[in-house]
Amino acid sequence: METRPTVGFLLITPLGLVLLAVFVAPVLLMLPTSFRIYAPGQGMLPGWTLANYAQIVTDSYFHQVLGRTFGMGLLVTALCLVIGYPLAYALARSSGAARSWLTLLVVFPLTLNLVVRSFGWISLLSNRGLVNNALVSLGLVEMPVRLMFNLTGLIIGLTHIYLPFMVMVLAAALQALPRDVAAAASTLGSSPLKTFFLVTVPLTAPGMFAGCVLVFVLTISALVTPRLLGGPAYKVMSTAIYDEFLASLDWPTGAALAFTLTAFALATIAGAGWVTRRWVAA
């Protein structure tokens, strides 16, 4: 069809303006804040500084928060991949009613509110929760085991939250497998296990990579679950940003943390895009 730049711009401008005003401008206006000087009790002082970023690089508290965030991201991603693959495989191979049921069971947690799902894990993992309750009443432990407000709780909760995303991406990759390649491998003398590792896994590798990137970025950006299962003390980057803005009111530090987190998220996605393009070209 012919190009209609004028009409095109007319159609796209309203949305563009809203996004500029409510997304781009706020983010850009936070950039100077991250270079301001903050004094407790007095708020922001005149003048500019790099200290807000420097402390992220030098301060051991921030090292801990960053390390925790990425450790959590990598662990959750790995767990989602390992747990998600069998489920995605079953989903991709199923048909008829079984397929509808599996899909519903995977999508249901995905659509369910994050706060509710995190609350479910609190009911299970807290000191008075179901797991500890069972352990104590069965006499397996005397004191409740600490399953929350630490890495264990975060990993369990976040793996649960992001598993459906991984499953959907992997199931799509498995369904996009070219017709009959697995059958071809078996007629050429390959056992089912060999076929899986020689054909299915390599052909779904791009899907696995995409799923991992998605889950990793979502995990390091998550706020609700880390806050509820980690509590106010066990902080990751997003909960630290939350507290700097709402509790300690140190907006410059919060802004610097926010841009650091954004940079990591965007760099992960850009890097993954670059790798994928090289992969396809190779």
Partner 1 sequence: MGDPAVGRCVTTEGPLPWILRIVVGLILAFLLLPVVVVVLASFSTTAYLTIPPEGLTLRWFGQVLRDPAYLAAIWFSVRLAVAATLLSALLAIPACYALHHRWVPAAATISALLMSPLIFPAVVIGVALLQYVSMLGLRGNFAVLVLAHLVIVTPYMIRTTLAGLSGCDPALEEAARVLGANRVLAFALVVLPAIRSSLAAGLVFALITSFDEVPVTIFLLPPGQATLPVTIFTAIDQGVDPSVAAISTLLIAATAVVLVLIERFASVRRFI
Partner 2 sequence: MAELRLERLGKRYSDQVAVADVDLEVASGEFVSLLGPSGCGKTTLLRMVAGLIAPTGGNILIDGADITPLPPHKRQLGLVFQSYALFPHLTVAGNVGFGLRRQGVRGADLERRVTEALELVRLGHLASRMPRQLSGGQQQRVALARAVAPRPRILLLDEPLSNLDAQLRDEMQIEIKRLQRELGITSLFVTHDQTEALSLSDRVCVMSQGRIQQVGTPEQVYHAPANGFVAGFIGMSNRLLGRVEAAVGPAGTMLALADGTRLQSAMEAGPAGSAVDIIIRHDAVRLAALPADSPAALDGTVIMRSFSGARVQLVVRLDTGTDLVSHCATALPGAALPVGARVRVTVDPADVFAAGTA
Q: Which residues within the stretch 129-188 sit at the binding site for partner 1 (CB under 8 A)?
A: 129-130, 133-134, 137, 160, 163-164, 168, 174-175, 177, 179-180, 182-183, 186
Choose the one of partner 1, partner 2, none that binds residue 190, judging by a C-beta under 5 to 8 angstroms depending on kind: partner 2
By CB under 8 A, the residues from 249 to 278 that bind partner 2 are: none
- Going by the DSSP 8-state scheme, the letter that residue 4 receives in this structure is -
Tokens of 33: 């804040």
Diameter of the chain measured on Cα atoms:
77
C-alpha triplet 84, 203, 210: angle, nearest 5°: 50
> Rounded distance, CA 200 to CA 247, Å?
50
Q: Angle between the 237-246 and 251-281 helix axes, to the nearest 10 degrees?
A: 150
Query: Binders of partner 2 among 130-189, rule CB under 8 A?
Result: 178-181, 183-189
Asked if 111 is part of the footprint of partner 1 (rule: CB under 8 A), the reply reads yes
Interacting positions 64-83 with partner 1 (CB under 8 A): 83
Give the one entry of partner 2, partner 1, none that residue 103 binds, where binding means its C-beta sits below a cut-off of 5 to 8 angstroms depending on kind.
Answer: partner 1
- The answer to the question of residue 191 lying near partner 1 (CB under 8 A) is no
For residue 267, the partner it binds in partner 1, partner 2, none, with Cβ less than 5 to 8 A by kind, is none
**Which token pair is 243?**
């507290």
Which among partner 2, partner 1, none contacts residue 229 (Cβ within 5 to 8 A by kind)?
A: none
93 binds, among partner 1, partner 2, none (CB under 5 to 8 A by kind): partner 1
Structure letter (DSSP) for residue 223:
-
| DSSP assignment of 3-39 | --HHHHHHHHHHHHHHHIIIIIHHHHHHHHHTTEEEE
* Site stretch for partner 1 (CB under 8 A), options 35-43, 58-66, 143-151, 265-273: 265-273
Q: Which of partner 2, partner 1, none lies near 208, with the C-beta cut-off 5 to 8 A by kind?
A: none
Please report where in the chains the tokens 């509820």 appear, as a residue: 228
Instruction: Work out whether 4 is an interface residue with partner 2 (CB under 8 A).
Output: no
Rule CB under 8 A: is residue 210 a binding residue for partner 2? no
Neighbours of 30 (CB within 10 A): 17
Could you count the other beta carbons within 10 Å of the beta carbon of residue 259?
19
Q: State the virtual CA torsion across 42, 44, 48, 49 in degrees, nearest 10.
A: 70
Residues at the site binding partner 2, with contacts judged by CB under 8 A: 178-181, 183-192, 194-195, 198-199, 202-203
